[in-house]
């Protein structure tokens, strides 16, 4: 069984730039959720993708957007990067939209300068 | 006030000690309660989840939920240095998102 994978591991961007983060869900899972974890904080829910549609969104602005592909992998796109976007971005996969059995990937650490 | 409160620690214990980690919450709609372990610079690892009130045991780990008090706990018996990590509680009402605490940093010393 293949776990959740994310790429890249880390990257550095400049304020105002755009970034795309990628996630491959665990084998057999059809749902991907994205979270942002600032240093010293718990993860915050960004949004979830279920059957290639956005299925719920947290308190994040529209410059955070995503996609899910037919193979259930997913992308998170962030436009017009701000310094406060610096964080660990986590992808979690699950079988179905319920949150209580989500399995996380290793995360992508984004630094915005 | 945050929906989920968790003491950030750090909590330092000797090897072999029983560790008690706790969270309180304010949203009575929460029905599923999870504990995740997160090593430095890694993603959270699901340890166990509990539905509604009661206890659940898995090896050295025991999770307790008291919905009447809006209080959950994770106990670790015979703690090991490899248990040193940040422990995150998380909750959901059965919907699509998890609400996390800030995490408690645990260090188990030899």
Q: Are A18 and A77 within 8 A, CB to CB? A: yes
For residues B10 and A108, what is the distance between their CA atoms, to the nearest angstrom? 25
- The residue among B85, B91, B97, B103 with the most chain A CBs within 10 A of its CB, best to mutate, is B97
Q: Does residue A101 belong to the interface with chain B, where contact is any CB pair within 8 Å?
A: yes
For residues B30 and B9, what is the distance between their CA atoms, to the nearest angstrom? 24
Q: A104 vs B101: CB contact, 8 Å cut-off?
A: no
Q: Are A28 and A1 within 8 A, CB to CB? A: yes
- Band of residue B1 on the pLDDT scale cut at 50, 70, 90: confident
For residue A1, the model assigns a pLDDT of 59
For residue B94, the model assigns a pLDDT of 80
Q: How far is A33 from chain B (nearest CA, A)?
A: 8
Q: B100 vs A44: CB contact, 8 Å cut-off?
A: yes
Give the residues of chain A that fall short of pLDDT 70.
1
Q: Are B49 and B90 within 8 A, CB to CB? A: no
Of B70, B63, B67, the residue nearest B25 (C-alpha): B70
- Taking only the tens place, the pLDDT of each residue in B17-64 is 999 999 999 999 999 999 999 999 899 999 999 998 889 999 999 999
Q: Does residue A30 belong to the interface with chain B, where contact is any CB pair within 8 Å?
A: no
């Amino acid at each position: 069984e293949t776990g959740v994978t994310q790429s890249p591991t880390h990257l550095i961007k400049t304020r105002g730039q755009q970034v795309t983060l990628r996630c491959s869900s665990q084998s057999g899972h059809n749902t991907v959720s994205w979270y942002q974890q600032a240093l010293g904080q718990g993860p915050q829910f960004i949004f979830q993708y279920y059957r290639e549609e956005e299925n719920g969104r947290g308190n994040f602005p529209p410059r955070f957007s995503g996609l899910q592909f037919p193979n259930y992998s997913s992308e998170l796109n962030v436009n017009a990067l701000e310094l406060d976007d610096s964080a660990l971005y986590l992808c979690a996969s699950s079988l179905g939209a319920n949150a209580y059995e989500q399995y996380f990937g290793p995360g992508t650490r984004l630094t915005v300068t | 006030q945050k929906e989920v409160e968790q003491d950030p620690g750090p909590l330092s214990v000797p090897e072999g000690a029983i560790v008690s980690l706790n969270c309180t919450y304010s949203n009575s709609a929460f029905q599923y309660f999870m504990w995740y372990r997160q090593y430095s610079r890694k993603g959270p690892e699901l340890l166990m989840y509990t539905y509604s009130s009661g206890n659940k045991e898995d090896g050295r780990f025991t999770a307790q939920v008291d919905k009447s008090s809006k209080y959950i706990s994770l106990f670790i018996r015979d703690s090991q240095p490899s248990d040193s990590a940040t422990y995150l509680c998380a909750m959901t009402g059965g919907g699509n998102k998890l609400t996390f605490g800030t995490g408690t940093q645990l260090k188990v010393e030899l």
